[in-house]
Copies of this chain bind each other. A is one copy, B any other.
Amino acid sequence: MLQINETHDPALRSWIASANDPLTDFPLQNLPFAVFRRVGSAEVWRIGVAIGDQVLDLTHALCVDGLPDLKESSLLAACRQSTLNDLMSLGLPAWSALRLGLSRALREGSACAYVLMDALVAQSAVEYALPAHIGDYTDFYTSIHHATHVGALFRPDNPLLPNYKWVPIGYHGRVSSIGVSGQQFVRPLGQTFPAGATEPVFGPAARMDYELELGVFIGKGNAPGQRIALDQVDQHVFGLCLLNDWSARDIQAWEYQPLGPFLAKNFATTISPWVITLEALVPFRQPWTRAEGDPQPMAYLDSPLHRDTGAMGISLEVGIRTAEMRRAGLPAQCLGRSRFEQSYWSIAQMVAHHTVNGCNLRAGDLLGSGTQSGPQSHEAGSLLELTRGGQQPLTLANGEVRTFLQDGDEVSLRGRCQANGAVSIGFGVCSGTLLPPLP
């Protein structure tokens, strides 16, 4: 079982100075994984660990014997791959051993500091690949506030469907168009049915939106026909990232009945490069509760352990930087904030539900949490909610107005965890840019 251990000790400091900055996303207590190489190089992609403003090159670190605590040959081999899949498939004991070895090697007083210095690369000098080969991508719908807000726009008479409080609703997404932070994509073309029209029209989508989500990378999978029980999920989830499920709302409204969103979402999905391990997130686990009057979850979605620790405190925010803001040298402007602990369904419930029918998950599979929104209007994870379906335009600080995204808009997601007695950790950034449609 995942528990607080020496790697979470808030007194630990790293010999890499930038990791001790209280504002860094990547202190010694985080140690997330990515796949990277030097910008513009033709190097083989390799696995890195974020520490302060640096990346520790795991292949290099093992080469110079800089992680002497690691002995297991399968773990050592997995750390030298070009994706995280092998590491993900090893399971929690291996992940914990690696985390402990990294923590000891990177903390003040480590005997490895000298040899590891050469294995560091500045984050500003690297580019990232997708952290894993993703076999399947499933997107959930876990925020009841988002489901209610959006449901009211699509179905004013029936915002929250009767199954919502029983079923962790999910659907399959598109893998081929998932990109890592920095992704640029053209505005999609498609069929829409404008208000007042008598038949559908074809052209560039007009109601382009982002969705502020968390991504969940599966580590150890399950065999076909087998289930992952709620209390076993921590053994199977490798870690979390940020995820932007770009959406074309006008295409979605016309196509989504009866089989769900398709072209409205499958043109692009952006994730952050860094995968925050579940072990790093232990200090931010919270009791999981239901509001009075909500139905008790079915047995496969409920347990005493889950009630104690099923929720996770993660603050999320989304910012926009328009082409005009970039020209004027203005920074991104925050559009909305929300908290993952307000999600109606937890990560463990997502995984237990996904496999309850025997559906097999594989190492590297990605689950999205669905858009995370809070109950208040400024806590929305999408423009659809912030502008009430485009009815209430937003005026940005520089005077620009938005109902939906304009060509050139860059959207960035961030996430951060804070808790008493714990060092704060963050997710880095997940950004992407909407380009004009092709002629």
A residues within 8 Å of B by Cβ? 135-136, 138, 141, 151, 154-155, 161, 163, 166-167, 169-177, 185-186, 188-191, 193, 199-200, 202, 205, 224-227, 248, 251, 254-263, 266-268, 295, 298-300, 353-354, 356-362, 365, 438
Contacts and interface: CB of A to CB of B under 8 A. Distances in A.
Given A135-B175, A136-B176, A172-B266, 16 more contacts: A161-B257, A167-B200, A169-B255, A171-B171, A172-B172, A172-B173, A172-B262, A174-B359, A185-B358, A188-B357, A188-B358, A189-B358, A256-B258, A256-B259, A258-B260, A263-B356
A439 to B, nearest CB: 12
A157 B132 CA distance: 46
A389 to B, nearest CB: 15
B186 A167 contact: no
Nearest to A141: B259
Contact of A185 (B161, B225, B295, B298): B225
Contacts of A268: 224
A366 to B, nearest CB: 12
18 contacts: A169-B259, A170-B259, A172-B172, A172-B174, A172-B262, A174-B359, A176-B360, A176-B365, A185-B225, A185-B358, A186-B358, A199-B295, A225-B267, A248-B357, A260-B260, A260-B261, A266-B357, A267-B357
Given A167-B191, A255-B163, A266-B357, A136 B174 contact: yes
Given A202-B299, A357-B189, A171 B262 contact: yes
